[in-house]
């Protein structure tokens, strides 16, 4: 998800953010600053693992681990949002059918 979008030009014009991009941004904004910073270092500043690790006072393996954990948390946030939307919709439909 992150790698394929990171180096491409924007898919939207000024003032318009597609819903899927807005969902990902919202999921990233829900992260602690520590993980948000790691994603910024990796995907906006194009730092390698060693540079990211150094930013956090650690080695390259720690840099890779932090970014991987941040990506996993974003995926979890997106999944949780999707599940809550499905549950809400299911309840709404069950009320209408009854």
Please report, for the chain, the start and end positions of each structural domain, with discontinuous segments joined by +. Answer: 2-7+15-97
CA distance 51 to 63: 8
pLDDT for the residue 25: 86
User: Percent of the chain beyond pLDDT 90?
Assistant: 47
In the CATH hierarchy, which top-level class contains the domain 2-7+15-97?
Answer: mainly alpha
User: Taking the model in full, what pTM does it have?
Assistant: 0.66
Of residues 81 and 3, more confidence is placed in 81
Mean pLDDT of 14-27: 81
Comparing 11-20, 31-40, 46-55, the range with the smallest average pLDDT is 11-20
pLDDT for the residue 12: 57
Mean pLDDT of 55-71: 95
CA distance 78 to 28: 9
Q: Helix, strand, coil: what percent of the chain each, to 5?
A: 75, 0, 25
Burial class (CB in 10 A: 0-12, 13-18, 19+), 66: buried
């Amino acid at each position: 998800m992150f790698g394929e979008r990171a180096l491409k030009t924007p898919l939207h014009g000024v003032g318009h953010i597609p819903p899927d991009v807005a969902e990902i941004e919202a999921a990233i904004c829900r992260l602690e600053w520590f993980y948000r910073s790691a994603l910024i270092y990796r995907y906006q500043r194009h730092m390698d693992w060693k540079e990211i690790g150094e930013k956090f006072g650690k080695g390259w393996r720690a840099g890779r681990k932090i970014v991987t954990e941040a990506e996993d948390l974003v995926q979890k946030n997106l999944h949780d949002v999707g599940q809550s939307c499905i549950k809400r919709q299911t309840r709404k439909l069950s009320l209408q059918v009854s």
